[in-house]
Chain A
Amino acid sequence: MRIGVTVFPGSNCDRDALYGVERMGAEAVELWHADADLKGVDAVIVPGGFSYGDYLRPGAIARFANVMGQLEEFAKSGGPVLGVCNGFQVLTEAHLLPGALLRNTHMRFVCDRVRVRVETVDTPWTAGCDPGEELTLPVAHNEGNYFADPETLAELEEEGRVVLRYLENPNGSANDIAGVCNEDRNVVGIMPHPERVSDPALGSDEGLRILRSVLVGAGV
């Protein structure tokens, strides 16, 4: 399986995501922001970082990058897309996912490891997890406070589209939401960084539970 990782100016988890893809046993493909070409990949990860310096708003400029047009088509045709951290912010700015990520309520950057619960296994990025499975994953963000209007939140809950939920909320997110998916369930955005715990040498490879799910869905 070939998995693309988009690289925007200011992405800084792109190399970690490429490494994570290697750790999950897939082929990693770098997708440069200026090239409108997904290189025929089977899935795409939009990594974390500070694309375009987070100037204006996180993700607000990245959504206009050349690569995004193709990515939107890929997403709409059902291709598996995972946005991590800044990648989640990019996907909400591009309206591929509902809601928005606001400043953490305590107004501080937070880098930590937090416990989350897998709320649905009906997405390509959680299909390999057990329902209700609890994972400890790193977070590192300034704007991770998930926000959506009450109707959208109710819809997400009813349709089982909350993908990960914090057991200890680090940022003030509505309904303790750490990740959501789109209506078609193929596009997932999460604030925690599974690629940062993809190697036992770093004390944990629990992140592979998420990353390897996409292999399960593809029957690999």
Chain B
Amino acid sequence: MMGRAPNFLELSLFSVMWSEHCGYKNSRPLLGRFPNEGMRVVQGPGENAGVVEVGDGWALAFKMESHNHPSAVEPYEGAATGVGGIIRDILAMGARPVALLDSLRFGPLEEEHNRYLFREVVRGIGGYGNAVGVPTVGGEVEFGRAYSGNPLVNAMCVGLIRVEDLVRSSASGEGNLVVLLGSKTGRDGIHGATFASDELTDESESKRSNVQVGDPFCEKMLIECCLKLLDEDLLVSLQDLGAAGITSSAAEMAAKGGVGIEIETDRVPLRESGMEPTEVMISESQERMLAVVEPEKVDEVLRLAERYELVGAVVGRVADHGDLRVLHDGEVVGTVPAEHLADAPVYERDVVRPRYLEDVPELDLSGLPEREDYNAILLQMLGHPNFCSRRPIFTQYDHQVGTDTVILPGADAAVMRIKGTDLGFAATTDGRGRHCYLDPRGGGAATVAEAYRNLSCVGAEPVAVTDCLNFGSPEKPDGYYQLAECIEGMSEACEVFGTPVVSGNVSLYNETDRGAIYPTPTVGMVGVMQDVNRRATPAFKREGDMVVVIGSGSPPSLAGSDYLEIVHGRVTGRPPSADLGSEKEYADLVRHLISEGIVDTAHDISSGGEVVAVAEMALAGGLGITYTEGEFERKIAGQGRGRTDVALFGEECETFVVAVPWERWADFQAAVPGNVGYDQIGTVGGNRLTIPGLIDVSLSDLKEAYERDLFEQHAPEGGHIG
């Protein structure tokens, strides 16, 4: 390709750029399956972030990215720089970052090391996000053995921009100058991208020096400076420096623009002396951006950088030769065609169904004894780390800075307003690792469906998706099959829902000596609201509201459920597959009820089943619920097929709980199409959750189980209940 053997510097450039992290060499053929076009899509995959239109000329730039490997060995800085990196992706589009979300997975908290990772990752997210002044408004956390020692840390950022102000990253204009902005370049994070594309081993701990160190103060200045530079129309294009540092940014800018870029490494401001050109080129020092600037505007750019206390330096120029050329003291020390660097080879692999999937049976309930102490089981579920209150986490994040957070953390999705308009947007992150393990295709679809339901439950119209594909090694048949099948399932769901995938990233090689993680694609979905004042939360709000379950009546299932794992210690069974058309139909109906102002209380029935969903609504609102006499017996006999545990805790597809005020009952009935089934199950009020003959618990007991401090957990999971 180059017609000669590359030298050491050139080889280093290929090493980082052709890593899975930067080059997607294993995943690229599969990623092409994702639908990525839609009415509201302004920018699909290929830029620093996807962009969708909201209305009135406003657009959202958003993306999610993984920082799993760095967080495994240095959790505080790994998580912090994950936040910093995703913010710069949004900034590179010219958008002001306005919301952060985090999707996290850890091993069980009985293990001290997992507690350490959990505590430090949360501290790292807060430490960076709080200082940089972008609110952390949502996310999710889950614990499971499959993530022991290999946590998943996926950070999502949403930015707000006027459509006409969007910036692209392609370099252009021979003779234009390349300016490096931000902090100085040091030896931190050398070969971070290569490290992130390997399995985690005992030696990984020794790779702390591969992990970058974040400076949120510098990032805050970088945000304000770049937005100012764009506002004054001083930049031709802009690109963040992430994995593979200057190499990646310059190669991508050049390749996209069909031009060359020459970098003079001796002009890069350095944090330490004696750095080799190779080190300068692949350093992953944080808080840096690369801009292409017309020569006559350079002085003003550098002046503004100084005003924001940033280092700004001309480090190169745009050339017509199409190469990424590295110079040091005027001598060429490396030349590589930019398009080759940015175009890693692709490995096509065979998709072979793993043997373990043949052994996943349909769940046989006859072998599952039915426990009848339902009060205790409900408390055990609510107290489990996967269900209990997230307050101890989100109170460590500044979720209100910016004065745009309309729904505070704890609801199905975060809701933000757009100042000066009635417009709003919602965002959620969701993952279903166990489901994807037991049924990769069904789990992939269910992950997208979960996000679709969550946005609908706050009243937002879901519009597009970003994803992090967290998987084991693609070089092993199981890992590759899971990746391929999850992508297929996600793609099918995205097509039915009309929510294209506009950005994302891939994190493979999530394996330790204990094996691979559950295949865990996480989905970040954004939705738009034409009137942000028409919204809903799960919290019961008024005594006397009628509680209604809306759904297709598909049977609840314990297969692969949280109930089965938490109460019976079993991970087995094929979870039911969602009927994607029905999912959309019912979610859209719930959203319609909210946008018409008929209901302001909605929640989906998901993990934990109906009774957990209802308990969460009662806890959020501080109001109880009494089921109508005989109502639940009907469900047990019908959908539950005689099993009380199935009816109470079985996971359901396309099913929602809403609370309807009495005075809106007629409107509710009129708004629900004749073919849609619903049951009025009970009434909001009092301070107990009562299902006659089955469950009767006070809110204070529910609260005691639910509101526990996850950071002080030492006992085995669920161990505080007899």
Contact = CB atoms under 8 A, between A and B. Distances in A.
A138 B400 contact: yes
Nearest to B419: A19
A203 B402 CA distance: 15
Nearest to A34: B307
Interface string A118-142: 0000000000000000000010101
Contacts of B533: 201
A169 interface: no
Given A50-B131, A108-B396, A111-B394, A12 B220 contact: yes
Contact of B220 (A20, A50, A110, A198): A50
Interface stretch (A52-60, A89-97, A150-158): A52-60
Nearest to A32: B307
B308 interface: yes
Interface string B126-169: 11001111000000000000000000000000000000000000
Contacts of A195: 403
B372 interface: no
Interface in A52-111: 52-55, 108-111
B88 interface: no
A12 B132 contact: yes
Contacts of B133: 12-13, 49-50
Nearest to B224: A9
A142 B396 CA distance: 9
A13 B131 contact: no
B399 A111 contact: yes
B217 A53 contact: yes
A142 B126 CA distance: 10
Nearest to B127: A109
A165 interface: no
Contacts of B399: 111
A201 B417 contact: yes
A13 B417 contact: no
B114 to A, nearest CB: 19
Given A110-B396, A111-B394, A111-B399, A12 B131 contact: yes
A117 to B, nearest CB: 21
Given A16-B402, A201-B417, A202-B403, A9 B217 contact: yes
Given A54-B131, A112-B395, A13 B401 contact: yes
B216 A196 contact: no
A198 B400 CA distance: 12
A53 B395 contact: no
A19 B403 contact: yes
Nearest to A193: B400
B400 A52 contact: no
Contacts of B405: 202
A54 B220 CA distance: 13
Nearest to A110: B395
B220 A140 contact: no
B370 interface: no
A25 interface: no
- Chain A's interface size range is 20 to 34
Contacts of B395: 108-112
Nearest to A13: B401
B131 to A, nearest CB: 4
- Majority-rule SS of A interface residues: mixed
Given A19-B403, A55-B217, A10 B396 contact: no
Contacts of A111: 130, 394-400
Contacts of A196: 400-401, 403
A199 interface: yes
Interface in B199-217: 215-217
A109 B398 contact: yes
A53 B400 contact: no
B261 to A, nearest CB: 31
Contacts of A199: 403
B406 A9 contact: no
B309 interface: yes
Interface string A153-189: 0000000000000000000000000000000000000
A55 B403 CA distance: 25
A55 to B, nearest CB: 7
Contacts of A9: 217, 220-221, 308-309
Interface in A1-18: 9-10, 12-13, 15-16
Given A10-B217, A50-B217, A16 B401 contact: yes
**A12, A15, A108, A202: which has the most chain B beta carbons within 10 Å?**
A12
A196 B419 CA distance: 13
Contacts of B218: 53
A133 to B, nearest CB: 22
Contacts of A140: 130, 398, 400-401
B219 to A, nearest CB: 10
Contact of B131 (A10, A20, A193): A10
| Chain A CB within 10 A, most for which of B131, B398, B402 | B398
Interface string B55-67: 0000000000000
A164 B395 CA distance: 22
Contacts of B217: 9-10, 50, 52-55
A193 B127 CA distance: 19
Contacts of B532: 201
Nearest to A112: B395
Nearest to B394: A111
Among B395, B396, B532, B533: residue with most chain A CB under 10 A? B395
Interface string B391-422: 00011111111111110000000000101000
A137 to B, nearest CB: 11
A34 B406 CA distance: 34
A10 B401 contact: no
A138 to B, nearest CB: 5
Contacts of B307: 34
Contacts of A193: 400
11 contacts: A9-B217, A50-B217, A109-B395, A109-B396, A109-B398, A110-B395, A111-B396, A112-B395, A198-B403, A202-B405, A203-B406
**When A and B form their complex, which 9 residue pairs have the shortest distance between CB atoms, in order from nearest?**
A12-B133, A53-B217, A50-B131, A140-B398, A16-B403, A109-B396, A111-B398, A10-B217, A109-B126
Given A9-B221, A16-B401, A196-B400, 9 more contacts: A10-B220, A16-B403, A50-B130, A53-B217, A111-B130, A195-B403, A196-B401, A201-B533, A202-B404
Interface of A: 9-10, 12-13, 15-16, 19-20, 34, 48-50, 52-55, 108-112, 138, 140, 142, 193, 195-196, 198-199, 201-203
